[in-house]
Amino acid sequence: MFSYKRRVKYYETDRMGVVHHSNYLKIIEEARIKWCDDNIMKYSEMEKRGCIIPAASASENFLSYLRFDDPFRVEVELKKFQGIKMTFNYKIFNEDTEELCYTGESTHFFANDCGNERYLPYISFRKDFPDEYQKLKLLSSEV
């Protein structure tokens, strides 16, 4: 299981003093990019080679609250890799209390960075990134 750790920033909270719901997607994105950097290749390098990984879907469950300066960790798991797309599971825990605060899932696909937002053609990740493709197959809990 991959873990990403940091503290809640003040700007991520709302008037009630808790992390605003919209920031959880940003937090899991941070964690997923760090997961890619550490396990596959630097995401910036992937983009330089013409590959982007847009989101196709995301779902979230808010179970408890994180507040400003709370230390937390995001556990990231590659649940499924199907060559063209992949699905991640996330759990966010308060590091002080070990309370599970959030669970989520996101699905992404590999596309050419063609600069046209209306049309993102799939790429053959297996052909264009063969080493990284093999790494993803090995890391996936469900192929």
Question: What is the reported pTM?
Answer: 0.91
What are the tens digits of pLDDT across the range 11-59?
A: 999 999 999 999 999 999 999 999 999 999 999 999 999 899 999 999 9
State the pLDDT at residue 80: 96
Enumerate the H helices of the chain as residue ranges.
22-39, 43-48, 125-128, 130-139
Q: What is the mean pLDDT of residues 101-127?
A: 84
Please give the backbone phi and psi of residue 54, each rounded to the nearest 5 degrees, phi first. -70, 155
Can you give the residue ranges of every domain in the chain? 2-139
How many angstroms separate the CA atoms of 89 and 28, rounded? 10
Class of domain 2-139: alpha beta
State the pLDDT at residue 12: 97
Say whether 14 is catalytic.
yes
